[in-house]
Amino acid sequence: EQGLLGLAFSPGFASDKRFYVNYINNSGNTVISRFKCSDTNPDVADSLNEEILFTVVQPYTNHNGGAMHFGPDGFLYISLGDGGAGGDPLNNGQNLQTRLGKILRIDVNSDSGYAIPASNPFVGIANSDSAIWSYGLRNAWRFSFDKLTGDKWIADVGQGLWEEINFQPASSAG
């Protein structure tokens, strides 16, 4: 649960040459960043052009999540685990002030940085992170969107005897 955890190509990759990565840095923290491929060779990206969008401190070395995909709405969805250890001892999955134990939704359709979609469920809600789309997750290490329906299927780890699969319909408001 270290190193490169997720990779997503921009829906407009053919023209913008951008891709996004979710990795654990040498300090053990999550980094979400954007790269751009060479204008002359789409198989080459220069590490010097990395734009770090945000970093999340990881309290333990496991449960880092890592999946990232562009949804049918064009926004980037990113899963982060609860930060590790057994039983979510820091209660990160339920804490709306941390990005740990969540799926985030951000708008990266700009030349730099990112924005929070106005339709995210915690926009304008006090004591919450407006990037949160889904919460209460343990370690959503994989998720995908159904190509026909837009529904989201989330693979989440359990504790002890149980594992979990979550379903979020395309009509969900987060």
DSSP-derived 3-state class of residue 15? helix
What tokens appear for 116 in the block? 């929070």
- E strand or H helix at 16, and its extent? helix 13-16
Question: For residue 152, what pLDDT is reported?
Answer: 97
Q: How far is CA 23 from CA 6, 78, 143, 167, in A?
A: 7, 11, 16, 25
> How does the average pLDDT of the chain come out, rounded?
95
DSSP-derived 3-state class of residue 80? strand
69 class by beta-carbon count within 10 Å (0-12 exposed, 13-18 middle, 19+ buried): buried
Mean pLDDT, range 92-117, rounded to an integer: 97
Question: For residue 162, what pLDDT is reported?
Answer: 84
Question: What pLDDT digit, counting tens, does each position of 21-75 carry?
Answer: 999 999 999 999 999 998 888 789 988 889 999 999 999 999 999 999 999 999 9
Question: What pLDDT digit, counting tens, does each position of 124-142 carry?
Answer: 999 999 999 999 999 999 9
Mean pLDDT, range 149-155, rounded to an integer: 97
Question: For residue 149, what pLDDT is reported?
Answer: 97
pLDDT bucket at 79, cuts 50 / 70 / 90: very high
In this structure, how many other beta carbons lie within 10 angstroms of the beta carbon of residue 66?
23
**Dist CA 108 CA 105 (whole Å):** 10
Q: What is the 3-state secondary structure (H, E, C) of 101-129?
A: CEEEEEECCCCCCCECCCCCCCCCCCCCC
Question: For residue 4, what pLDDT is reported?
Answer: 96
Mean pLDDT, range 100-126, rounded to an integer: 97
Question: For residue 38, what pLDDT is reported?
Answer: 87
**Dist CA 86 CA 59 (whole Å):** 12
